[in-house]
Chains A and B, each alone.
Chain A
Amino acid sequence: MLRNNSVKAIAQSQRIVKRPFVVAAAANALLGSFEFYKNIDLATKMDKGQLHYEDANAQFNKKRTDQPFFTRGEPEYPGHVPLYLHEKLLMFLGSSLGAYLHPERNEFIVALGESAAVTPVLRSIQTTMLNDPVGRQILRERPRMTSTSLDLDHLRALPSNSIGGTYVSWLDRENCSPDTRVPVRYIDNEELAYIYQRYRECHDFYHAITGLPITIEGEIAVKVFEFMNIGMPMSGLGSLFAPLRLKKSQKKRLYDVYYPWAF
């Protein structure tokens, strides 16, 4: 009580006024920048030696010192979209959620596949292919499977116990075309991108060989088969999480029949 009185007395006698400075300083900086930015800009330029000299050397230096902090990589093959790490991560999270909730929509499955196919996995597949003469031939010749590159009529003429015959009869049965495979966009190395593209195009082969239809169960069974054979992480994730949305009877069929068969 006594102290408060004395403080008040001092305040009154000396007339100390507390000034709020934060808001004022911010306002000063903001409004002042409209007024003084030109000077500051010119001063920076003079410091960098860009103000009074304009020649080839200055241009060169500007190119070297004025680089933006983050530059996106160059596309390595037509259609390549280089992504930053955080973008890849977001794509992975978003597409995994989307693929779980809406597996019928293709974009989610595609994006999940590409973001989950990390470089070590693709490199080990590349090593396996390079160690095998047929694998090397594939990597060198880069065959693609589209409705134009495959001669479907010729394949139809082949006997039904050949791969070609089975493949075409499966395509006709399920009313599919080999063109439905989306081109790879987010994988960073050109050879690894081809490997992933090849994997995608071979997906229908696995359907044909195993005879599984394009129902949700069929797809999951093919995914498990693919994972055990090739090791693509997306197939593994699909095998783990996709059955959780299914009806009990479907789950039962998957776990009791298809999974053990695939393993």
Chain B
Amino acid sequence: MLSRSIRYFSNSAIRAATQVAPPTLQDVVIIGGGPAGLSLLATLKNSPKTKHLNCTLIEGGSLDKVREFATNPPQEYTNRCVSITPKTIDYMKHKIGSWDFIHEDRIKEYQGIIAYDGQDADSRVEFDVNSIGKDNLAAMCENINIQASLLAKVESLGLEDTTTIKDNTKVVDIINPLTPDLENHDLNEIDEVPGTGKLDWPIIKLSTGESIQTRLLVGCDGYNSPVRKYAQIESRGWQYNTFGVVATVKLQYEDFRSVGWQRFLTTGPLAILPLSEDNATIVWSSTPELSEILVKVNKDIFPRLVTAAMVLEETDLKYIYGLLKENPDDLSAVEEIEWRMSKVPEVVLEERYPAAIVSVLDGSRARFPLKLSHADTYVAPRVALVGDAAHTIHPLAGQGLNMGQSDVIHLVEALEKGIDRGLDLGSTLVLESYVSNAWPANHAMLGICDKMHKLFSTDFYPLVLARGLGMKTVNFLSPVKDMMMKSISL
């Protein structure tokens, strides 16, 4: 009797020692602490209908840089900047409430966009927001500025008992308890939680050893989203086989015109977007070969190269790339640039082209691959996808982050409706309205940007003529331009 009880006792002791703690229950777990994830957390906590939900945000990297940015931003601009539309700014002001915490002195509002063809600089479309009576077309903002404002908003709300942010925590695995993987996981992890019956809630295992079981799992974890893989949602698209090269630069003078410039070269569009005073940020989508040249070239030659790339013919540019490929410090490339630029009259250079770039910030040059992808759907039972996990787009129209923000708003609206109706937030009944609101518009935008990219990547003469004619016509028809501008305004 005693031996049996001792054995039982020792068995239970062993079991207790080897038992993994049961998973914590949460309402919403957001994986990914980028702008999409932080936006979602902030919106959920800001909305009176959803602020009671137990939310956890898990971020694999460290959010310390973001926290430091909020209190002590660096002197120079960081190199990842986005263009935020007035709609997004409005969301941030009202639905999310994070605009109060953003560093407004680091935001540059601009009034127009001038986009022109690489083959013929006369084929241009010039957008000017004054013709629709608004003050600003869009604003340039650093990614980290947005993240910092969202984090500050979350922390300011003071809802610590229902909000948890776990940074420096990686997600080791996501288990669907309905199809348990008995070889790798402890039986205890899929046991029913007392009082609630068997749950089909996904279990997230973290690198700290904890596990969380959640009603709704939201994937804001980027293009290679593990959440999307867990939900077995297929994402379709293709690699563009181009890289986006970003850099922070200084212009020759503060350009009072306050517009964003974009030139559609056959290797990819080059955009120069204004930041405050005489700073600017460039995004140059280019072939892999060219992007390597751009990142490696001497930092004194790079500004001249960017200025030349906005003005010179593509034959000249190809020749210069050839020179710089051989030798990234080749100063004869600068002489070539000077000679060819001297063919363009000064007056034309000042009026129809952007201000010259004089220097690039050391260490700000980086490149990232560009791709198109769109998930088949954004939801699955107990799973939702937001941001880059759901869709990736070519940066030529600057819409990626804005689409992510509108995703967040639509998802929160769907969840609010679910709460109003007393429904289970993880059920597809609640989540489907998010898909129906967000998916078609996103798909259209992805398609447009893809076709624009393909249209401008060619120098086949009849097509060049046709698109030049198209651009000149659109430029002439102000109602069309007004309509395009209104679609991104409030």
Contacts and interface: CB of A to CB of B under 8 A. Distances in A.
B339 A131 contact: no
B315 A127 contact: yes
B339 A130 contact: no
Nearest to A126: B315
Range, interface on chain B: under 10
A33 B317 CA distance: 62
Contacts of B313: 127, 130
B253 interface: no
A130 B316 contact: yes
A130 B312 CA distance: 12
Contacts of A136: 319, 336
B4 interface: no
Contacts of A190: 343
Interface string A98-140: 0000000000000000000000000000010011000010001
A118 to B, nearest CB: 15
A130 B315 contact: yes
Interface in A122-166: 127, 130-131, 136, 140
B343 A131 contact: no
Interface in B302-339: 313, 315-316, 318-319, 336, 339
Nearest to A120: B461
Interface in B405-449: none
A130 B320 CA distance: 11
Contacts of A140: 339
B319 A191 contact: no
Nearest to A127: B315
Contacts of B318: 131
B343 A130 contact: no
A115 B83 CA distance: 50
A190 B342 CA distance: 12
A190 B316 CA distance: 17
A136 B318 CA distance: 13
Interface string A169-195: 000000000000000000000110000
Contacts of B319: 130-131, 136
A191 B315 contact: no
Given A130-B315, A131-B315, A131-B318, A191 B343 contact: yes
Interface of A: 127, 130-131, 136, 140, 190-191
Complex A-B, nearest 3 residue pairs according to Cβ-Cβ distance, in ascending order: A130-B315, A127-B315, A131-B315
10 contacts: A127-B313, A130-B313, A130-B316, A130-B319, A131-B315, A131-B318, A131-B319, A136-B336, A140-B339, A191-B343
